Amino acid sequence: MLELRNEVWQYEYMAFSRRIGELWEKFVRTAFDYAPRGLTYFIPPLFADVRKCLKKELTEYISQLPVSGEQRRELLEYYEKVWSLVDSGEINLESDIHFEFQGRRMNIDLKSGFGSNEKGNTNRLLMVAAIYRNLEAGYKNVLLVRARENQNNHYFRTLRDSGVWEAYCGADAYSQMRIFTGFDIDAWIKTNIDWHNDFAADTLTHFRSNNLLSYLEW
């Protein structure tokens, strides 16, 4: 598939990184889908439902404050102003995988790597993780990234150091996958995947000359 696409329309880094990301995420997801330990999957809440629940809680709290009706109205107006900054677009709380593991709810987000255009996605991930942490005590957000540390940029480090994500990359990401699934994906890749010998010579030459080989380091 990759070779035929490249023959018709040669890959540049944006298209190639996107396609490799799609392939890698579907590939490692298979280990979770068939995990022998029987992970218990669940459907995450919609952002609209979370917003409705939070608004109800705050409205009830404000209604009990020993303040005047005018002050209550102003507090609610300020609350709506804060939400207006968030509501410019519907936030998708559904990350790649949601399951219960050892009695704890897990939010797993899979990502091939962090490039120069990840600011918007990084901000979304920070908000999503913060919402989950406030929904339920002990909710764990885990980010698993294919690219090694030196192949990611500061956006990965921002998420790793945020306090709301546990972020792992490269070999560490595969180690975490093994903990959750019981399957050593890293060992399977090293035994069964050999991009450099599987691709045709002209395809490999194009990838090499356009600095695309790092996306094939699985």
Position 167 scores a pLDDT of: 96
* 207 C-beta neighbours (distance < 10 Å), count: 22
**Which whole number is the average pLDDT over 84-112?**
79
Q: From CA 160, how far away is CA 169, in angstroms rounded?
A: 10
- Dist. CA 31–CA 196, nearest whole Å: 24
Mean pLDDT computed over 17-22: 94
Question: Among residues 102, 103, 114, 88, which one has the least CA distance to residue 169?
Answer: 114
- Whether 89 has a pLDDT exceeding 60, the answer reads no
Give the tens place of pLDDT for each residue, 157-202.
999 999 999 999 999 999 999 999 999 999 999 999 999 899 999 9
Does the domain at residues 2-45+94-216 carry the CATH identifier 3.20.20.60?
no
Question: What does pLDDT average to over the chain?
Answer: 88
pLDDT at 50: 77
pLDDT of 88 reads: 52
Lowest mean pLDDT segment, chosen from 37-51, 105-119, 179-193, 196-210: 37-51
When pLDDT is cut at 50, 70 and 90, the band that residue 91 belongs to is low
Intervals of CATH 3.40.1560.10 along the chain: 2-45+94-216
In the structure, what pLDDT confidence band is assigned to residue 215 with cuts at 50, 70 and 90? very high
